[in-house]
Amino acid sequence: MSPDDVIQLSRMQFAITALFHFIFVPLTMGLSFILAIMESVYVMTGKRIYKDMVKFWGKLFAINFAMGIATGMTLEFQFGTNWAYYSHYVGDVFGVPLAIEGMMAFFLESTFVGLFFFGWNRLSKIQHLSVTWMVAIGSNLSALWILIANAWMQYPVGAEFNYETMRMELTSISELFFNPVAQVKFIHTVSAGYVTGSMFVLSISAWYMLKRRDLAFAHRSFAIAAAFGLASVCSVIVLGDESGYEAGQIQKMKLAAIEAEWETEEAPAAFTLFGMPDREAQETHHAVKIPWLLGIIATRSIDTEVKGIKELVAENEMRIREGIHAYALLKSLKTGNASDLEKESFDQIKENLGYGLLLKKYTDNVVDATEEQIRLASVDTVPNVPVLFWSFRLMVASGSWMLLVFGLAFIYSNTKKHISDRPFILKLALISLPFPWIASEAGWIVAEMGRQPWSIAGILPTNLSTSTLTADDLYFSLTGLIGFYSLLFIVEMFLMLKYTRLGPSSLHTGRYHFEKLEKPEE
Amino acid sequence: MFDLETLQVIWWALICVLFISFMLTNGFDTGIGIILPFAAKTDTERRILINVLAPHWDGNQVWLVLAIGAVFAAWPVIYGTAFSLFYFPLMLALFCLFFRPLGFDYRGKIDDPRWRGFWDWGIFVGSAFPTFFLGLIIGNLYIGLPFSMDEFHRALVSTTFISLFNPFSILSGVFCTSLLVMHGASYSTLRTDDALNNQLIRFIKMGSLIALISFVLMGLMLWQFMDGIVLNADNQVASVKAGWLNNYSVHPDLIFAPIAGLLGLAMAYLFSAKSPLLAFFSSCVAIIGAVITASGSLFPFVVPSSISLQDSLTIFNGSSSTYALTVMSWAAAFFVPVIFIYTAWCYKQLWGKLTARFIHENDHSLY
């Protein structure tokens, strides 16, 4: 077991690098699809302006894509560098989707992206369009496999513990693939990516129209983004609701923590709209509640109760006691001269082994854990309620706001009065630019902090997952990562702003705003 | 399908193939990145070199991503142990690697000599240091690393950055770097015309010569001055003098790997000025020979321990389960050939010589 600060620093490092990586990923997923749609329109209509749109938004896509690659490597390294025991304990399961992701998706995306940028004069229209679709499909498939891996951390199915190798081993690839959490999460996450791409195009196009620049170009981009964005944001919200239901079935503690539902309420449970969750007192002050709503979301019924945190803690305490037995049996199995009876009884209770391991935080000798230690460990199974409570509400509020913006943008881009003459809608679109990122980052905080104290829910505590590093190692890497990421982010934003300001003029076709200013005769 | 032991050998071979593909493709990107500030002096020349790899560097880099992913999935405990053992060089390599994709993509986007100069060195740093560290890491596998396993199979790791620098591993780092310099230079001679070629040929010669000398020196060190470990019939690990050459007496055919390495390096040197195609071909042979030599000498070990011999990680005690390996074998059997096919198609579509004129005509769409 590693010292506390190594665990905290490792968690912080993973959180920072993953959240930073996810600034770029959703935009890649969304923009790649929007590029494919724009190019499809170009191939169907033959209008040059759509080709220019693909090329210009493609330039911004490239600036973002390079950052996605640079920051993605960090995550692949980190499972090994910082989470070595995790890698050993679950690599047999977790590594499989990652390897398949590389073979199936990364190659597709990365090989064809070069052809997308440099193949315009080498490929036929149809060939190039196919290449663009390959990039879009590749980037979305990457999301599929990494989310299958992530979903397994939330809800570990299709795997079994093997005491001889001391690790989880894959027993069914189809259970892993068809994990209900994975299916919901995949659609929810890629749709969020489409929303990000759409909002990006929508806001920047709105800005051009507010500046009265490149109206034809901006108007067409705006219309595509509004339609695609509206469809996507609806998908995110529907699948978000589906995740709520799925969490009600599977990730009960996470749901209770998100809702700050301390006590089990009578069915159907009320939904706490706002309030001040208090971890010490284990209650939520000043709660504003909507009757019935939580019960309906989480159970799709009005007579099933949603378990509260305190009841779940009590259940977990029982599992920790079972886990102590499992741990004792494991110890005896490891000596090599255990009886068949012991093997059998270990198999019966090994699903609780992980709960026994929670005690490792307090004592190396799990078998002799005191009542106080068991109580502390069971309280540990509650994630950070206020953080979850607020992150979730931030995500939902951002999502609802975007539904409104995309709805208005879609309606008004299809009316008689030209959208460029509706500054209010355009300004609304412009100021909404940060919301997809706020929603995504908050969403990941809910998903991953809601999984605590586990790295694999119910199987492996986060505390045990780290490498045997020293705090100094972590200070070194954390400083380097934060320093370089800040530097690169500034550079990226600088280029992004520069090219956004230039707009389609950056293509040097002679047909756009700044070029016309320079050469009025054209 | 297969029994565990067969699968373990298959995955050892497959991971070798992935590393070879990585060295062959990402290798010339990296090589070009290392020689960029030295071989090309003007901005146009540098842009020629960068645009040689522009459409492909991203796909090529995925070989590294996949190789690491395959190590994770097929050898989880090896992945975790090795990556935490090499924490410092890997983190430093990672920091340097940040500058590569950004350098390629951002350099051409602003026409300013300071901006472009910054990224030229960014690309150099992002290419040279990770390559040297890769060599350093591989070299240290032959020395053995300070780790042991506790009863819960947790790797207890204690290593310092300085301890990773020893004559053999430094030599291995130099070998790796010069190998890719040769490879990058010989690939770009295929894609550029005369003016730049004379510069590039000097780098092929320099790279192949240094690689040849360090390769021979490393062989001598393994033979005369270093202990290696062997797996006895009763699965006991023993340290013996020149133990890393043991596999050559058990499997005499393995000797073709170092011979291919040596011949490839010599031929690349000899053909560099006469035939770019033969020089590049020889360079590929040298890389394939070198990777097989490196992994074949270690076999079945991957990460030997210096403080607890029995805990040394091999492809047998460090691999995933039969089921996981079987699933991935099916996936690899399908996807790896498909990857080869569409990658080849992409190269074919974009093949051709890059000239200064081409760069100027496409000023705003190229890197």
3-state secondary structure A343-390: HHHHHHHHHHHHHHHHHHHCCCCHHHCCHHHHHHHHHHCCCCHHHHHH
Please tell me the distance in Å from B254's CA to the nearest CA on chain A. 29
Model pLDDT, residue B329: 94
ipTM summary value: 0.91
Q: How many CB pairs under 8 A join A and B?
A: 246
Enclosing H/E stretch for B314: strand B313-314
Beta carbons of A85 and B57 less than 8 Å apart: no
Best residue in A59, A85, A172 for a mutation probing chain B (most B CBs within 10 Å): A85
Beta carbons of A79 and B156 less than 8 Å apart: no
* Angle in degrees, CA B354, B359, B361, rounded to 5: 120
Model pLDDT, residue B323: 94
* Angle in degrees, CA B344, B283, A104, rounded to 5: 30
Contacts of B158 in chain A (CB under 8 A): 468
- Residue in chain B nearest A482 by alpha carbon: B95
Please tell me the distance in Å from A231's CA to the nearest CA on chain B. 31
Model pLDDT, residue A522: 36
What would the 3-class secondary structure string for A261-329 be?
CCCCCCCCCCEEEEEEEECCCCEEEEEEEECCHHHHHHHCCCCCCCCCHHHHHHHHHHHHHHHHHHHHH
Best residue in A467, A473, A484, A488 for a mutation probing chain B (most B CBs within 10 Å): A467
Contact in structure between A110 and A32 (CB atoms under 8 Å): no
Structurally, how many domains does chain B consist of?
1
Q: Which residues pair with A169 in a beta bridge?
A: A160
d(CA B270, CA B282): 10
d(CA B247, CA B260): 17
Nearest to A91 by CA among A488, A460, A516: A460
Beta carbons of B84 and A62 less than 8 Å apart: no
d(CA A496, CA B95): 22
In a domain, B367, yes or no: no
> Strand, coil or helix: what is B354?
strand
Q: Cα–chain-centroid distance for residue A59?
A: 25
**Around Cβ A493, how many Cβ atoms within 10 Å?**
12
What number is the average pLDDT over the span B101-117?
Answer: 92
Contact in structure between B80 and A465 (CB atoms under 8 Å): no
Contacts of A103 in chain B (CB under 8 A): 66, 331-332, 335-336, 339
Contacts of B106 in chain A (CB under 8 A): 63, 66, 491, 495
d(CA B76, CA B278): 39
Contact in structure between A467 and A84 (CB atoms under 8 Å): yes
Beta carbons of B62 and A107 less than 8 Å apart: yes
What number is the average pLDDT over the span B58-76?
Answer: 93
Model pLDDT, residue A517: 61
Find the domain containing B130 and state its range: 4-361
pLDDT band at residue B127 under the 50/70/90 scheme: very high
d(CA A277, CA A286): 9
d(CA A267, CA A295): 6
Contact in structure between B94 and A157 (CB atoms under 8 Å): no
Burial of B174: CB neighbours in 10 Å, binned 0-12, 13-18, 19+: buried
**Around Cβ A234, how many Cβ atoms within 10 Å?**
15
Q: Which residues pair with A80 in a beta bridge?
A: none
Model pLDDT, residue A418: 84
Model pLDDT, residue A249: 76
Dihedral of the alpha carbons of B50, B51, B53, B54, in degrees to the nearest 10: 110
Best residue in A87, A117, A334 for a mutation probing chain B (most B CBs within 10 Å): A87
- Residue in chain B nearest A334 by alpha carbon: B151
Beta carbons of A98 and B335 less than 8 Å apart: no
In the chain, the amino acid numbered A470 is T
In a domain, B226, yes or no: yes
Beta carbons of B84 and A169 less than 8 Å apart: no
What number is the average pLDDT over the span B155-180?
Answer: 92
Intervals of chain A under pLDDT 50: 520-522
In a domain, B305, yes or no: yes
Nearest-by-Cβ selection for A107 from B59, B76, B90:
B59
Nearest to A182 by CA among A97, A286, A100, A248: A97
Spell B291-327 as b/e; 16+ CB within 10 A means b: bbbbbbbbbbbbbbbbeeeebbbbbbbbbbbbbbbbb
Beta carbons of B55 and A115 less than 8 Å apart: yes
Beta carbons of A65 and B97 less than 8 Å apart: no
pLDDT single digits (tens) A366-375: 888 888 899 9
pLDDT single digits (tens) A16-67: 999 999 999 999 999 999 999 999 999 999 999 999 999 999 999 999 999 9
Structure tokens at A293: 């709503």
In the chain, the amino acid numbered A415 is T
User: Which stretches of A98-206 are assigned E, i.e. beta strand?
Assistant: 159-162, 167-170
Model pLDDT, residue A518: 57
Dihedral of the alpha carbons of A172, A352, A444, A309, in degrees to the nearest 10: 140
Nearest to B150 by CA among A294, A201, A88: A88
Residue whose entry in the numeric block shows the structure tokens 């991957």: B302
- Residue in chain B nearest A134 by alpha carbon: B342
Nearest to A273 by CA among A250, A254, A292: A292
In a domain, B366, yes or no: no
- Residue in chain B nearest A100 by alpha carbon: B331
- Residue in chain A nearest B51 by alpha carbon: A118
Rounded to two decimals, what is the model's pTM?
A: 0.93
Which sign does the torsion angle of CA A307, A313, A318, A320 carry? positive
Q: What are the C-alpha distances in Å from A155 to residues A134, A148, A180, A247, A457?
A: 31, 10, 9, 10, 6
Contact in structure between B72 and A87 (CB atoms under 8 Å): yes
Best residue in A116, A137, A468, A498 for a mutation probing chain B (most B CBs within 10 Å): A468
Nearest to A240 by CA among A381, A385, A452, A403: A403
Contact in structure between A151 and A457 (CB atoms under 8 Å): no
pLDDT single digits (tens) B234-273: 888 888 888 899 899 989 999 999 999 999 999 999 999 8
Nearest-by-Cβ selection for B335 from A82, A103, A334:
A103
Beta carbons of A103 and B331 less than 8 Å apart: yes
DSSP string, B146-160: SEEE-TT--EEE---
Best residue in B53, B99, B106 for a mutation probing chain A (most A CBs within 10 Å): B106
Please tell me the distance in Å from B270's CA to the nearest CA on chain A. 33
Beta carbons of B109 and A495 less than 8 Å apart: yes
Nearest-by-Cβ selection for A484 from B72, B77, B98:
B98
Best residue in A7, A61, A107 for a mutation probing chain B (most B CBs within 10 Å): A107
Contacts of B73 in chain A (CB under 8 A): 91-92, 95-96, 98-99
Beta carbons of A96 and B77 less than 8 Å apart: no
Contacts of B66 in chain A (CB under 8 A): 99, 102-103, 106-107
Enclosing H/E stretch for B259: helix B256-271
Contacts of A100 in chain B (CB under 8 A): 328, 331, 335
Spell A413-449 as b/e; 16+ CB within 10 A means b: beeeeebbebeebbebbbebbebbbbbbbbbbbbbbb
Mean pLDDT of chain B: 92
